[in-house]
Each structure stands twice: as C-alpha cells, then as structure tokens.
A = this chain, B = another copy of it.
Amino acid sequence: MTDIDRTIHEPVRLRILAILSGVDLADFKFFVTTLGLSKGNLSSHMDKLEQAGYVEVQKGFNGKIPRTAYRMTDAGRKALADYWIALDQIRTACTEADGPTPS
C-alpha cells in the first residue's frame, strides 16, 4: 500500500506541478492569475515545493521589475509520476473485503 505524497496531494500544489510538468518555466504572476490564488497562499505553496526539492526558483528582473519563475526538478518529475501511480493503485485496488453478514 504505497503512501500518498502529501506535498503533492494538496490540490493547489498538484495543479502547480501539473502545469510545470508541461512548461519548463512559469512565473509567479502566472500561477496567481491562472489558479486564482492570493499571493501569500502561492508563496507558501511554492516554499513547500521548493523545500521538498520538487521545484527550483529563479529570481531575476524584467527590466527593473522583479520576476520570480519556477522550474520543475527531476526529483519533482519523479515524485509526480510516482504520485499518479499511487493514485491508480488506489483507484484499482478494491474488491476483496470481508463479507460481513448483515444482521
């Protein structure tokens, strides 16, 4: 019974990783607008993904305006793949319970 990775399982972070898995680089603003999050909320989710080693942060400037962008790491890619596998296992694994005789 493989465990669910809670870091990934949180819906917001799952969406973030799903996006990053197809994009190579996406910035702070983009996530705020597409996911409809408050900046604070996004910031803390990104912290968690970073601390888990699933995303890398790239801080730079767009002219004089700061820009923070995120990229998925290999570990993140692996973890996400494993996550989907674990979910599929749950989805499939049913059908052998005790048959409790009703009353």
The CA-CA distance from A78 to B93 in the complex, in Å, is 18
| B residues near A61, Cβ cutoff 8 Å | 103
Whether the pair A94, B18 counts as a contact (CB closer than 8 A) is yes
Whether the pair A22, B100 counts as a contact (CB closer than 8 A) is no
Which residues of chain A from 51 to 96 have any CB-CB distance to chain B below 8 Å in the complex?
Answer: 58, 60-62, 67, 69, 84, 87, 90-91, 93-95
Chain B residue with the shortest CB-CB distance to A22 = B94
Whether the pair B94, A21 counts as a contact (CB closer than 8 A) is yes
Whether the pair B90, A25 counts as a contact (CB closer than 8 A) is no
The CA-CA distance from A87 to B87 in the complex, in Å, is 10
The CA-CA distance from A69 to B97 in the complex, in Å, is 12
| B residues near A18, Cβ cutoff 8 Å | 90-91, 93-94
The CA-CA distance from A27 to B11 in the complex, in Å, is 30
